[in-house]
Amino acid sequence: KAGVTQTPRYLIKTRGQQVTLSCSPISGHRSVSWYQQTPGQGLQFLFEYFSETQRNKGNFPGRFSGRQFSNSRSEMNVSTLELGDSALYLCASSFTGGTGLSNTEAFFGQGTRLTVV
């Protein structure tokens, strides 16, 4: 079955602009999580959506937002971009259909490399 698809793969924006990233999860997966990855901080959790509702949120400013559609596809938006937002943004999908080991198995997309200049 198809994996997690993220678009676009690469993006260059200037400071102050906004950006929208897209993620299509594995068919049947209802949970989509977003992560920011930088060399200095590693993988940092942004937020998780499940059934169109934000279920968990990391410690990021309000400039970072997201949403999930009825088909489980998700978008992430960053407004008023700063140089420090340059990173690899990863989306992960999970089944999270209940208890059991499938709870925390996450399947990642290839990521979107965002560069802010």
Residue numbers at the binding site for other proteins (CB under 8 A): 4, 6, 31, 33, 35, 42-43, 45, 48, 50, 55-56, 88, 90, 92, 94, 96, 101, 103-111, 113
Residue 60 or 108 with smaller CB distance to other proteins: 108
- Least separation in angstroms between residue 113's CB and other proteins is 7
For 70, the 3-state DSSP assignment is coil
Q: Which tokens belong to 117?
A: 């200049």
Residue 15 or 52 with smaller CB distance to other proteins: 52
Is the Cβ–Cβ distance between 29 and 95 less than 8 Å? yes
Residue 45 or 79 with smaller CB distance to other proteins: 45
- Least separation in angstroms between residue 111's CB and other proteins is 5
Is the Cβ–Cβ distance between 36 and 47 less than 8 Å? no
Burial of 48 (0-12, 13-18, 19+ CB in 10 A): buried
